[in-house]
Amino acid sequence: MDTAVALNPRAADVPESREPLLEVSDFSLRRGQAVVLDGVNLALQPGETLGLIGESGAGKSTLAMALIGLLRAPEVQLEGSLCFRGTELTRLREADYRRLRGNKIGLIFQDATAALNPCFTVGEQIAEPLKRHLGLSKWDRRERAAELMHSVGIPEPRLRLDAYPHELSGGMQQRVMIAIALACNPELLLADEPTSALDVTIQAQIMELILDRVRELNSSAIFVLHDLALGAQVCDRIAVMYAGQIVEEGPSERVLASPLHPYTRGLKSCVVELGSRRLEPIPGQIPPLDAMPAGCRFAPRCPKAKAICGEQRPQAEIRDGRQVACWFID
Ligand SMILES: Nc1ncnc2c1ncn2[C@@H]1O[C@H](COP(=O)(O)OP(=O)(O)OP(=O)(O)O)[C@@H](O)[C@H]1O
Ligand SMILES: [Mg+2]
């Protein structure tokens, strides 16, 4: 992907000691016997952006879906805590979740075609959260929907209010989804691979658009991404996820400049160096959920693994201002 996206200018300004907007503590999610998320810890300050990075099957979308309350008992079993603005999300009733979702917490999915309803005009779909959460009148909703379409770079928004999703290009549909996600000025935006279904030529534009809008609203955001370098470039913090666990989390510059976990190091060397086209994939793949190693889940692929790694799970330690879960950090 074209990574010509502006560096986040706020990275250095975010104070460390405020009450977190979101705090994920010892959070685990099981599907029957399979432990899909295992002891996840994360904190996000107001206005901060986090890149959640990891290869396919790491559990990134599962964490995002759990955060917005779309994965709940009895479909899955949850343990630990998801605390948003002091409210424990895991104990929230569905009716209360509906008041948060699309309002205080906005969502952008990977595939707009699947997320937008083909039977309603884009104007109606952008107006829906304005009616549900803000109680705006029909006239005000239409006005605001046109403003929102303009703010996400949709030309001639008044003409397009009455268009159906199939009448718009993929990039325009993604812009509509961004307008819906940001309609109620959410305090937290979850964007699950927001550009990966788009042409590479417009990926950077859409990423830039989301970042600009998030900064304007001073919202916090979690971007689920595959690309460590892009994540570090656009987010204040990076959380690297492997097989349902956070293996390293901390300020983007530090994680990218001097990764401490062998998996993060492996991801870093996966970055294709333009010119040399050097690509060093990490050999092997994430173990199946029903055959997870008892100790460190990365041990079978880790170049540094010793006997203890296969036997005991390393607890996350704070090193150099970040959390790292590895028996041999040095
Ligand atoms: N509906 C489901 N039923 C059973 N297992 C599932 C389901 N959805 C995901 N999983 C499993 O949960 C694990 C985590 O999947 P998840 O989709 O969260 O990964 P991801 O990091 O988002 O991957 P990707 O980058 O491919 O989107 C995987 O082992 C996956 O097979
Ligand atoms: Mg996913």
Beta strands in the chain (DSSP E): 22-31, 34-44, 49-53, 77-84, 87-88, 105-108, 188-192, 220-225, 237-242, 245-251, 317-319, 322-324
> What mean pLDDT do residues 109-123 have?
90
CATH label, 1-47+54-92+224-330, candidates 3.40.50.2300, 3.40.50.300, 3.20.20.70, 3.30.70.100: 3.40.50.300
Least confident among 3-17, 43-57, 92-106: 3-17
For 48-74, how does the pLDDT look when each residue is reduced to its tens digit (9 = 90+)? 999 999 999 999 999 999 999 999 989
Which residue minimizes the CA distance to atom 18 of ligand 1? 59
Instruction: Give the chain's mean pLDDT.
Output: 89
User: Domain coordinates of the chain in residue numbers?
Assistant: 1-47+54-92+224-330
For 200-251, how does the pLDDT look when each residue is reduced to its tens digit (9 = 90+)? 888 888 888 899 989 999 999 999 998 898 899 999 999 999 999 999 999 9
Is the pTM value of this prediction over 0.75? yes
Residue 139 has pLDDT above 90, yes or no: yes
Q: Is residue 192 within 8 Å of residue 224, measured between CB atoms?
A: yes
Least confident among 57-61, 87-91, 112-116, 313-317: 112-116
Which residue minimizes the CA distance to atom 17 of ligand 1? 61
Tell me, in angstroms, the distance from the centre of ligand 1 to residue 61's CA.
7
Measured from CB, residues less than 6 Å from any atom of ligand 1 are 31, 36, 54, 56-62, 289
Distance CA 152, CA 148 (A): 6
pLDDT tier at 158 (50, 70, 90 boundaries)?
very high
Q: What pLDDT does 273 receive?
A: 52
Q: Is residue 89 within 8 Å of residue 67, measured between CB atoms?
A: yes
Q: Is residue 146 within 8 Å of residue 158, measured between CB atoms?
A: yes
Q: What pLDDT does 279 receive?
A: 57
Which residue minimizes the CA distance to atom 30 of ligand 1? 57
pLDDT tier at 7 (50, 70, 90 boundaries)?
very low
257's CB contacts (< 8 A; 6+ apart) are: none
For 248-290, how does the pLDDT look when each residue is reduced to its tens digit (9 = 90+)? 999 999 999 999 999 999 998 876 554 555 556 688 899 999 8
Q: What pLDDT does 71 receive?
A: 93
Residue 17 has pLDDT above 90, yes or no: no
> What mean pLDDT do residues 72-86 have?
94
